Structure 1
């Protein structure tokens, strides 16, 4: 077999592997959506779960998932971006930086169940908070910090040094250069990392089993309940998310139509994760075009 024939053969193999991966993904998504068809029913999306009865909804779990997403991002994004800025601009090569990178890589490789057990010990037991939304948000923040730090560091490093030197040459301080010049230029990549992290938050279950609990109070948006201890906006209450609810339905089967609700919930979950990924691509591209002037 000559060189040209070998090249065609291995090109075909690579195309075949790529097609297999795409087919596998489409089959998986199609199967979940088929099993959970009719998941867009308003009664299902905005209804309350029913104990020992059929026909319940997922409104509290869906609300908890989005609320958990917001609280966790408020914690992890400033820390992750700050860590990325430090690693890219302030840290000096040496043993300390190598040790920090080792810690980040180790933290990134931890299974989510291990982070959940850590959260149980620290955020649930040591703080005496119990199973709360804040405990779950902190555990998820620990999971996302390594990825956000690496994305932020790489995004800042990709900013052209000419831009940085021009800003410093005009009299701007290093902090002003980072804040006013480098961060806006790196923002599209950082935003993509944040949205992808949001997709992971929405679909995480293992870490939340031990931190956020498996109960979801009924939604009550009345003015008298917004600031009370039983308010859905209280971060010190249990907050069962949609992914945890799916696990509970499949493991305990507490209602007659548990399998049907679990299938519909899975369809909602996968649609949301897909939306996060598509949104990351679209927003990242649009913002990059905005900053670079490309169309």
Structure 2
């Protein structure tokens, strides 16, 4: 059989597989949205838990996402820059990379138990947003670091020598040339981390708790327990709320609420990904001059 014929056969097979995967994903999304269509209302999305709404859980999810990203992004990008541009190639650095790759495959429930023992019990932060944010950051830091390092290495091959040849310092080259050109890939890593945070349940079960007390938005004390912006209050996220509804089913219409919450979760994840892609393209065009 000729090589061209073999290539055509493999191309057809890959197209079939791609169509099957896309179709399966479309059916999955349609099913979730169809099941939760009856609950998609303003009252449901922003309503209180007592009235069958998910307003508190939705706010907790976004607030947890914000705090987690504030921890993950600076440390992850900083570690990626160090490993890519400043660290020497030796056994210790290779061992660090091996540890990072190993940590990136840790099950979330293991990280949740670690957060329970360290942040909740040892540090006595109890079930809180800070405990949950730190725990889920442990999940995302390894992948964020690797994505940043790989993106910087790929971009550095094209522009690093030219920038240094023009008299720029190493930090000027990294901050003004390499980092902007690698921003689309880094943004992809941030999107993946955000999706994992927003949809995470196992780690938050043991660290942020399964209760959603009434939120007071006129109180900005991050150390109190009644403020909506407090870091030391329990915070049941939307994913945890869905799990609790399906596991316990204490509410009379638990299945309907869970279906609606799942649909809202999918919609917000899709919207976030689309917006992030658009922003990434804008950033890439701005720095590339297109």
1:58-73 alignment to 2 at 5 Å? 58-73=54-69
| 1:226 matched to 2:220 | yes
Structure 1 unaligned residues grouped into runs of 5+: none
| 1:161 positional shift | 4.2
- 1:269 is aligned to 265
| Matched length | 288
1:101-116 alignment to 2 at 5 Å? 101-116=97-112
147-156 or 285-294: which moved more?
285-294
| 1:144 matched to 2:140 | yes
Contact 1:188–1:283 (Cα < 8 Å) also in 2: no
Looking at structure 2, the residues matched to 233 and 103 of structure 1 have their Cα atoms a distance apart, in angstroms, of: 34
- Write out per-residue CA displacement over residues 11-63 of structure 1, whole angstroms, 9 at most, x where no aligned residue: 2222111111011100100000000003430100110012xxxx510011000
- 1:75 is aligned to 71
| 1:3 positional shift | 4.4
Contact 1:133–1:212 (Cα < 8 Å) also in 2: yes
- 1:260 is aligned to 256
| 1:91 positional shift | 1.4
| 1:182 matched to 2:174 | no
- 1:44 is aligned to 44
- Write out per-residue CA displacement over residues 143-194 of structure 1, whole angstroms, 9 at most, x where no aligned residue: 1101110111112112244633343344433223222332222222212221
Structure 2 unaligned residues grouped into runs of 5+: none
Looking at structure 2, the residues matched to 93 and 111 of structure 1 have their Cα atoms a distance apart, in angstroms, of: 29
SS of equivalent to 1:232: coil
Contact 2:39–2:256 (Cα < 8 Å) also in 1: no
- Structure 1 pair 180/220, CA: closer, same or farther in 2 (3 Å)? same
Looking at structure 1, the residues matched to 258 and 25 of structure 2 have their Cα atoms a distance apart, in angstroms, of: 20
Contact 2:184–2:284 (Cα < 8 Å) also in 1: yes
- 1:26 is aligned to 26
- 1:199 is aligned to 195
| 1:202 positional shift | 0.5
- 1:217 is aligned to 213
Looking at structure 1, the residues matched to 109 and 156 of structure 2 have their Cα atoms a distance apart, in angstroms, of: 40
Contact 1:195–1:279 (Cα < 8 Å) also in 2: no
| 1:200 positional shift | 1.2
183-192 or 262-271: which moved more?
183-192
